[in-house]
Chain A
Amino acid sequence: MKIKHNLAIIGSSLLLFSLFFISSCNKLENVADGAKLIIDYNLIETTVDVQLYDAATGDLIGRDGDASVKVKITGPDKDGVMDITGVQNNDMLYYSQRGMLGLALIPEAAYTPSETRPIVFNIVTDLSGYLSTSQKITVVSEGRNQYRINMVRLDNPPQGVTVNRETGVATAIDGRIQDPATVSTPTGKAKIEIPADIVMRDAGGNPLSGSINVDIVHFDNTSDEALAAFPGGLMPTVTRSDGSVADGMFYSAGFLAIEITDASGRHAATFEEGTVRMEAVVSPETYNPETNGAVAAGDIVPVWSYNENTGEWKEEGVSTMQNIDGQLIADFELTHLSYYNFDWFYGEYCYQGAAFQFVADNPISGCYVMGGTMYRQSDNAYLMGIYMWVCPGEPVYTSYAPSGIPVKIVWNESNYPNITIAPSSQPTLISDLCAGGPIQINILNNTSNTTTVTIDVEAYCASQPNVIIRPSFSAWYRPISNWNWNPVAMENGYAEIMGVEIGGTYIVGIYYDNQWYETEVVVTDDEYTYVGIDLPADVCNEVFGY
């Protein structure tokens, strides 16, 4: 009896223990279920966000996905530039998506920007039907940089830019022009004279042949719209006539872009056995910094040619202003074809200007972009567009700022419904951007009916669903009825968008490896939305190796 009792206890005990262990082993098989390897793609310390606009319409070029601008990176630090995914393309060629391009600096010591070691490169843009242009980029500190490039559409130029596209103006046989020709802009502000017997060749030395076509584009130096689209900008790198290279600022007296092509599409680059004369009417309102007054007959102005491949200007000579029939005329004999510019060059600048402190009447929860236009106070001439990435409590600096010159900044209307510039700061007058203390900009923050939403972005490869990539770079958003994209900073896949209207519908997009991804977001009370990006196989392979 006692033995039976003991056996029963032993048997029950063994059964109980067996059940416990079987239960435990089943659970152990699924320990990692649902867990993922999540990668914060935060390798990049410095970004350069570029938006490419049509100078006349103010629309992003290809905003509907119907055009992509070819962008070439040139300049001294071009080797330190890559796209936002960390890929450096062959020949430094990139293509915009929806008018936007995300660039970054390689995070190596050689390309870590500082005031003593600024990273300088050029963005050279090219799109059929548009005038090729460029933008010099100077980065003096790590962080986010915003640039806007205005491109001139030849059949719809902005105010202040006149275009004449004439076909069959002359005939060339084996490069030699048979008859003289003159082509003027519709307003008569610029013209070129092509003599007979001049020989034209393309950059490869091939002679032009057959019917000759001429495009001539004139930029009025007194028009802000024209100067905002000025190829290369007004703060360029130049090669002086003595061969020295200098950075500085142009005081423009006018700009001409000339293109001569033959029936086969060959572009004239060099002239032999003669020169082409160009002539431009100079506005009497033009400011001559050398005389510190309005330009007058007899004034001498340097002439510069533009290398659209590198975005740099070269001093070709000088032109003396002439008074012809009551108009001030500058002219120059061309031995090669390029864009030409009548400008005085001023070489005083600083890489990092004074600090700007944006002070809001109500606290602002996130970062935002403030844009404006900088003018010289002396002649009220357009200098440059400025775009500042403002984060609460952090100073913002202008890079590559003109020195010793009083300037003023006229701030753009904010893209954020809650933010306006206070009247006390509009415009902002600055005696010298390269000297003095911080510049306070007062802004008004109206928080009613707006909120902050968090966007959660994850990218993944179908081949590795358990690996999640959380990007750390720029995202963009806009109200569904408005094409003004605002950048937002994304870190570890999270982007906070402030100042959006409750109930409003927004488009949120990111530019990633030459592709544009976007999604529609309705702002609700939950203040949160998720965006999943299924990366193409080639991206997975290129960036992550699987």
Chain B
Amino acid sequence: MKKILPYLLTGFILLGLGHFLTAQELYTDSQYESEETIDDSRFGMGLGIKMSTFGPGVEVIAAVTPKLHLRLGGTYMDYTYHYSDKNVEVNGSAESHLSSISLLANYQLARIFFVSGGFLYNMNEIGLKGFFTKSMTVGSMEVSPEKIGSVNLKIKPGSSLTPYAGIGLGRSLSKNGIVSFAFELGAAFHGSPKVELGATGMLEPTGSEEQRQILEDNLSGFTIYPMLNFQLSFRLL
């Protein structure tokens, strides 16, 4: 999975750029249309695929008016990075679980500039785990890795229901064409993150409530999760 992701991402970007140009061309074709001549009541529907900091996902887009688009989407990605240090016989892993369900509204402020807002059901979770791989000698005692124990850390958003605001270039749904591309920069206001800390064996006190609170306090300022989104959309109606 992790080998495929960079290619997918690159493919999306290249494809998106190509269609961005196409979409802009389409837009350019219609740029001479007077704003007043556009039928503001024209309803449209489309599907989008995206790659974002919440992971890859899909979207259903409804153009309520040419300027106002409603977006219902979802993202999902699991990624695990394994770490090993043979010098100190420590193994570790970092797991990121990124997923969300979003309900957003885009308002096209200018031809290729839009603002976006709404809510995400934020299911992101970052986990860190560290453990020894070999026994340690403490004084005259041989201490097994199980006895030494492990430390587990999980960071979750402070609030699952997360307000979101963003700005973007392009369109989430082409006004007149089929394909459109959008690049979006935004922020999900998830509140102070929640920390779950656990430890086993000799390291068990490391996972105390006091320690957990220290980490949570340190993370309390990290109330924003940045959103970077590349999206390719196809107008169906």
Which residues of A approach B to under 8 Å, CB–CB? 6, 9-10, 13-14, 17, 20-21, 23-24, 26-28, 30-43, 82, 85-88, 106-108, 468, 470, 492-493, 542-544
| Interface positions of B from 92 to 127, Cβ below 8 Å from A | 109-110, 113, 115
The residues of A that contact B185 with a CB separation of less than 8 Å are: 17
Q: Known contacts A43-B147, A86-B139; is A32 also within 8 Å of B218 by CB?
A: yes
B interface residues with partner A (beta carbon < 8 Å): 109-110, 113, 115, 138-143, 147, 151, 167, 185-187, 202-206, 208, 211, 214-215, 218-224, 226
Min CB–CB distance A131 → chain B (angstroms)? 31
Measured between beta carbons, the chain B residues less than 8 angstroms from A35 are 211, 214-215, 218
Q: Are A40 and B222 in contact (CB under 8 A)?
A: no
Q: List the 10 closest pairs (A to B, CB-CB), nearest first.
A: A86-B139, A27-B221, A88-B140, A38-B205, A87-B139, A13-B167, A6-B110, A38-B206, A34-B214, A86-B141
Contact A544 B138 (CB under 8 A): yes
Assembled-state Cα–Cα distance A27/B218 (Å) = 7
B110: chain A residues at CB < 8 Å are 6, 10
Assess the A31–B219 pair: CB atoms within 8 A.
yes
Q: How far is the CB of A80 from chain B (nearest CB, A)?
A: 10
How far apart are B142's CB and chain A's nearest CB, in angstroms? 7
Tell me the nearest residue of chain A to B142, going by C-beta. A108
A34–B108 CA distance with the chains assembled, in angstroms: 46
Q: Is the CB of A82 within 8 A of B140?
A: yes
Given A39-B205, A492-B204, 8 further pairs, Cβ under 8 A:
A24-B222, A27-B219, A27-B222, A31-B215, A42-B202, A82-B139, A82-B141, A86-B141
B220 (CB) vs chain A CBs: closest residue: A27
Contact B109 A40 (CB under 8 A): no
Contact at B141–A20, with CB atoms within 8 Å?
no
The 25 listed contacts between A and B (C-beta, < 8 Å) are A10-B167, A17-B187, A20-B187, A23-B221, A24-B221, A27-B219, A35-B211, A35-B214, A36-B206, A36-B211, A37-B206, A38-B205, A38-B206, A38-B208, A39-B202, A40-B202, A40-B204, A43-B141, A82-B139, A85-B139, A86-B139, A86-B140, A87-B139, A108-B141, A470-B205
**Could you tell me the distance between the alpha carbons of A108 and B141 in the complex, rounded to whole angstroms?**
8
Q: Which residues of A contact B186 (CB under 8 A)?
A: 17
- The smallest C-beta distance from B181 to any residue of chain A, in angstroms, reads 18
Residues of B near A32 (CB, < 8 A) are 215, 218
A37: which B residues are within 8 A, CB to CB? 151, 203, 206
Q: Report whether over half of chain A's contact residues are helix, strand or loop; otherwise say mixed.
A: mixed
Which B residue sits closest to A41, measured CB to CB? B202
A21 touches B215 (CB 8 A): no
Q: How far is the CA of A9 from the CA of B109 in the complex (A)?
A: 9
Query: Does B109 lie within 8 Å of A6, measured CB to CB?
Result: yes
Our count of residue pairs bridging A and B at CB distance below 8 angstroms stands at: 100
8 Å CB contact of A43 from B202, B221, B222, B223: B202
Known: A21-B226, A28-B222, A492-B205. A87 touches B140 (CB 8 A): yes
Which residues of chain B are near A42, meaning CB under 8 Å? 202
- Is there an interface contact between B140 and A30, defined as CB atoms closer than 8 Å? no
Q: How far is the CB of A43 from chain B (nearest CB, A)?
A: 6
Chain A residues near B211: list those with CB within 8 A: 35-36, 38
A26 to B143, CA, bound (A): 40
Residues of B contacting A27 in the complex (Cβ-Cβ under 8 angstroms): 218-222
Inter-subunit contact A106/B141 (CB<8 Å): yes
A542 to B220, CA, bound (A): 39
Q: How far is the CB of B74 from chain A (nearest CB, A)?
A: 24
Q: Min CB distance, A110 to chain B, in Å?
A: 12
A9 in contact with B215 given A17-B167, A37-B206 (CB within 8 Å):
no
A37 to B221, CA, bound (A): 23
Within the complex, the shortest CB–CB distance from A67 to chain B, in Å, comes to: 26
Taking CB atoms, residues of chain B closer than 8 Å to A86 are 138-141
Query: How distant is B198 from chain A, measured CB to nearest CB, in Å?
Result: 13
Instruction: Give CA–CA (A32, B217) in the complex, Å.
Output: 10
Bound together, the chains give a CA A23 to CA B202 distance in angstroms of 37
* Cα(A39)–Cα(B187), bound, Å: 39
| A84 to chain B: closest residue by CB | B139
Which of B115, B139, B206, B221 is close to A13, meaning CB atoms less than 8 Å apart? Answer: B115
Is B215 a contact partner of A542 (Cβ separation < 8 A)?
no
Complex Cα spacing A25 to B101, Å? 25
Determine the chain B residues whose CB is within 8 A of the CB of A31 once the complex forms: 215, 218-219
Q: How far is the CB of A419 from chain B (nearest CB, A)?
A: 31
Please give, as numbers and ranges, the residues of chain A lying within 8 Å of B142 by CB-CB distance: 108
Rounded to whole Å, the gap between the CB of A73 and the closest CB of chain B is: 12
A38's nearest neighbour on chain B, judged by CB, is B205
In the assembled complex, the CB of A135 is this many whole angstroms from the nearest CB of chain B, namely 22
Residue from B113, B141, B187, B218 in contact with A107 in the complex, judged by beta carbons closer than 8 Å: B141
Q: Give the CA-CA distance A23 to B189 in the complex, in Å.
A: 13
Q: In the complex the two chains form, what is the Cα distance from A10 to B113 in whole Å?
A: 8
Q: Are A38 and B203 in contact (CB under 8 A)?
A: yes
Chain A: minimal CB distance from B141 (Å): 5
A37, B130: Cα distance in complex, Å: 12
Contacts of B109 in A (CB 8 A): 6, 9-10
Q: How far is the CA of A42 from the CA of B140 in the complex (A)?
A: 14
In the complex, A13 Cα to B114 Cα: how many Å?
A: 11
Give the docked Cα–Cα distance between A291 and B119 (Å). 97
Q: How far apart sit A26 and B220, CA to CA, in the bound complex (Å)?
A: 12
Q: Known contacts being A24-B224, A27-B219, A34-B218, is A43 close to B140, with CB within 8 Å?
A: no
